[in-house]
Structure 1
Amino acid sequence: MRIVLDHHAAAPPVHEHVTDAVKTPSLIRLAPNTVLVRFETLKVYAALGAVRHLVDTGVLRPGQTVVDSSSGIYALALAMACHRYGLRCHIVASTTVNDAMRAQLEILGVTVDQMPPSDDLRLDQNRRVARVRELLALHPDMHWMRQYHDPVHHLGYAEPADLLRRALPGEPLTVVASVGTGASSGGLTRALREHDPLTRLVGVQPFGSVTFGSERFTDPDAIIAGIGSAIHFDNVHHELYDRVHWLDFRHAMAATIGLMREHAVFAGLSTGAAYLAAKWEAERDPLRTHVVIGPDTGHRYTDRVFARHREALDSALLDPVEIASLDELTPPWAVIDWARRPYGPAVPTQERTHERRKDPVP
């Protein structure tokens, strides 16, 4: 085979800071109407957008300490944003943060408070919120980033939305993404709908999350902390979502292993869950391009997912139960037409009832 080099190809950019390098995703076409947007760490967009805005508006000043709670990905993104803008960083870390992640944070100068081991996601999140409140009482000058509730975290996603429009010009898009804090899926979709109001959004949830009403279920093996939540998040705007899928751990694991087998993509569990939902959606709506958001790589899941690949179900044999109301919700995989409707009154949490500021949704 003769390899021809293109000597006129544009030279790669020289970045001024690592955040510019790691935030840019790779777009991989998995099928004629399915494209994976693979990030090294998606939340760099949220952290950079938020910190840049807060610095530019004078809310933050160089040398000040920001604090927040995180299960890992946001913590590293915030640490890198603080490194770039000359801020100090304090992270109250979930019990799920592993040694490799903690070492990176500490090398970047982050002060890390890690919660004790727990299988209870609600207890872990409530402990983290309580610890943040303790820190704010001791250090009033700290700024609470409030990634779960402050709409400033939506701002950074206008950039990847523009990237998608340029990469897929004229294609009607359906975004398929884990719900999580709501900032990435919401910010991205809102920016896309400014140009095409018909852009669809499909959210993916684990069983046990309060965000879309599955808290009555438990999934003992679930480690998909970045998809759902045991507390309510103000950054989730339910009226943005057209459809919602709930998947248990075994289905998410099957899809994550399947993604690597079929496409050689080593990605996290939430990427696998979104991939499974997107395949189902793409079969039913073949004229739209389904954009799968892959927020991180698979390194955090090496032991609990990839090392167990022989146990994985065949994702090609899996199908959801289609439901018409939350009363019909049932594991292991269910899907509902959410139809961009609100969810109902939010339940106050410790974090939201002690807000320092309230910005309009961007």
Structure 2
Amino acid sequence: MGSIEGPVYTSVLDGVGATPLVRLNRIVPAGGAPVWVKTEWANPGGSVKDRAALAMVLDAEQRGVLRPGGTIVEGSSGNTGIGLAMVAAVRGYACIVVAPERTTAEKIALLRAYGAEVVLTPGLVPREDPRHVVNLATRIAEETPGGWLADQYGNPANPDVHTATTGPEIWAQTGGRITHLVAGAGTGGTITGTGHHLHEHGVTVVAADPETSRYGGGDGSPYNVEAVGHYLHPLTEQDVWPAVYDTGVADRTERVPDGETLRTVRRLAREEGLLVGASAGLAVAAALRVSAEAGPDGLVVAVLPDSGRIYLSKYFDDAWLTTLGFLDAPEGPLVRDVLGASEPGLTVVPATATVDEARAVLDGYTGPALPVVQPRATSATTWAVPDVVGTITAASLDGVRGDGPVGTHAGPVPAAVGHGENADAARERLSGNESGAGFAGGCGSGAGPGSEDPVLVLVDGRAVHLVSRGDLG
């Protein structure tokens, strides 16, 4: 137990920082290095972003760019916005947060609970699109009297607070015994600031990144882990990375698939009693790899950004996970049992291909429809569902000129099922007989319930096959 005499604060903001370090006991590999986790959800606003939010506001006040009666504006997937809304409530500012539509309902509710105005915008748009979260927040700040854009992506107060606080805390809490720091990068502020301090003590810094994130060399396609990594829309003209992220701070990167991340999140809750978000699961999954490599003489610390309480509708919802192919239903027959074993392989055509090029792909193709996808590397065998923009058939292209882009002729986005769903339940869901017939990951529910309608089959959130509804039994 901790001290009977806890700290006494004159404001909730005094509680930001000095978060506990907790040792993992049951999921660390045998013979591996001890793994300790920095429990950043213990901050009063519930995440590591409280540190940056408070630091950015105090810096803005000191520089005179945020004045009494002003409005704090930020583009955020949730946590920085929540931290800023909390700070705004204490210090008497209005707060406007621009958030991607895919942000969890729990985060949106928290923002509004603190009194913030929430402006939702599409999350999967090109960087130059005026609806992009950063562009929209910038415009709102410029048009709001007394508006101040926090700009977590370019504000040096973001990484600086971690150099001044998070890094020294970890060094002191481990008695200088830490050998490896593992942290993810969203804006890059946490790993940059913390890593800079710990590098001075010879600590190896490891970046944990979603497998398809651009930071670690992925193709930038969508992934199912909020608030970490770098998505790149294929129509973005210039791939802009956060100015605060020093990409040289990490000695190496561990690229972690979504399935490994989300199963680690579940294990942390059920085996360690730690209810955390997916970015924390990502960091721990990477830390377990580092632990196995470092051996018993090492000491690994992973930064856990936030709590799982704001992801109950996603990462801890069995139906959501099963529909996306991350989890198996408790009873069969499962979708994959009905379809039979086969290697993942989705034949596709990019939306930018000409109609004649698409016809060439369709020649000899036997599926119910051909998926049309965002123009990424079409040699891939699995696809992020938001990158599937529709389907075509030979019949749908009858009479269409051959030199135009085929994407303009794509039909509806197919429905989707998880490979581990109960096949009977999946058929019922697709027929619209129960709520939630639409795909949980943002894919539409498709056309009517015809037996020849195309259906994507998902494994760990990615489409691996396209079948007809009739194939499900």
Identify the TM-score tier after normalising by the shorter chain.
0.7 to 0.9
| CA shift for structure 1 position 35 | 0.3
Q: What amino acid maps onto 1:261 in structure 2?
A: R
In the alignment, does 2:84 pair up with 1:81?
no
Residue number in structure 2 paired with 1:226: 228
Q: In structure 1, what is the equivalent of residue 310 of structure 2?
A: 300
Q: Which amino acid is the alignment partner of residue 222 of structure 1?
A: N
Distance change in 2, residues 1:50/1:191 (3 Å): farther
Match of 1:35 in 2: 36
Residue 65 of structure 2 corresponds to residue 59 of structure 1: yes
Native 8 Å contact 1:224 1:269 kept in 2: yes
Q: Contact between 1:251 and 1:313, CA under 8 Å: does it hold in 2? A: no
Deviation at 1:123, TM superposition (A): 8.7
Q: Does 1:175 align with 2:181?
A: yes
> Could you say which residue in structure 2 is the equivalent of 1:319?
none
CA–CA distance in structure 2, aligned partners of residues 144 and 257 of structure 1: 36
Alignment partner, residue 18 of structure 1: 12
Say whether residues 1:129 and 2:125 are aligned partners: no
Give the structure with the higher percent helix.
1
How many corresponding residue pairs?
A: 307
**Which runs of 5 or more residues in structure 2 are unaligned?**
26-32, 42-46, 233-239, 329-379, 383-473
List aligned pairs for 1:86-105, cutoff 5 A: 86-105=92-111
TM-score, normalising length from structure 1?
A: 0.76
Partner Cα distance (2:205, 2:128) in 1? 30
The answer to whether the 8 Å contact 1:67/1:142 transfers is: yes
8 Å Cα contact 1:202-1:245 kept in structure 2: yes
Q: Is the 8 A contact 1:44 1:77 kept in 2?
A: yes
Instruction: Give, as a single letter, the amino acid of the residue that structure 2 aligns with 1:248.
Output: P
Secondary structure class of the residue paired with 1:252: helix
Query: Offset of 1:300 from its aligned partner?
Result: 2.9
Asked if 2 retains the 8 angstrom alpha-carbon contact of 1:50 and 1:155, the reply is no
Please state whether the residue corresponding to 1:306 is helix, strand or coil: coil
**Conserved? CA contact 2:261–2:281, under 8 Å:** yes
Task: Report the Cα distance in structure 1 between the residues aligned to 2:39 and 2:127, rounded to whole angstroms.
Answer: 29
Deviations 1:231-282 (A, max 9, x none): 5211111110111011221111111112223212111111111111111111
- For residues 160 and 48 of structure 2, the distance between their equivalents in structure 1, rounded to whole angstroms, comes to 13
Amino acid at match of 1:218: S
In the alignment, what sits opposite 1:46?
A: 52
The Cα shift of 1:180 comes to: 1.1
Give the fraction of aligned pairs with identical amino acids, expressed as a percent.
25
8 Å CA contact 1:89, 1:109 repeated in 2: yes
C-alpha contact (below 8 Å) 1:94/1:124 kept by paired residues: no
Distance in 1, Cα, partners of 2:176 & 2:101: 44
C-alpha distance in 2 between matches for 1:222 and 1:301: 12
| Aligned residue in 2 for 1:281 | 290
How far off is 1:115 after superposition?
1.3
With over 3 angstroms needed to count, the CA separation of the structure-2 counterparts of 1:70 and 1:125, relative to structure 1, is farther
CA contact 2:66–2:146 (8 Å) conserved in 1: no
Query: What are the Cα deviations for residues 69-110 of structure 1, in whole angstroms up to 9, with x where unaligned?
Result: 000011001111222333222111111333333233223232
TM-score by structure 2 length? 0.59
Distance 1:124 1:69, change over 3 A: farther
Determine helix, strand or coil for the equivalent of 1:254. helix
Once residues 34 and 121 of structure 1 are traced to their aligned partners in structure 2, the CA distance between those partners, rounded to angstroms, is 38
Gaps of 5+ in 1: 315-329, 333-362
Distance 1:222 1:331 in 2: 18
CA distance in 1, matches of 2:305, 2:185: 11
* 8 Å Cα contact 1:47/1:74 also seen in 2: yes
Q: CA deviation at 1:36?
A: 0.8
Question: 1:124, CA displacement in angstroms?
Answer: 8.8
Asked which structure has the greater CA Rg, the reply is 2
Q: Deviations over 1:100-136 (max 9, x none)?
A: 33233223232221115x6668699952223123324
Q: Distance in 2 between matches of 1:305 and 1:111?
A: 26
CA separation of 1:227 and 1:42: change in aligned 2, threshold 3 A = same
1:206 to 188, 210, 213: 210
SS of match in other structure, 2:262: helix
Aligned partners of 2:23 and 2:35 also within 8 Å:
yes
| Residues 96 and 300 of structure 1, relative CA distance in 2, 3 Å threshold | farther
The 3-state SS of whatever aligns with 2:24 is: strand
Mapped partners of 1:37, 1:54: distance in 2: 28
Higher relative contact order (CA 8 A, sep 6+): 1
2:166 matched to which residue of 1? 160
Partner residue of 1:256? 265
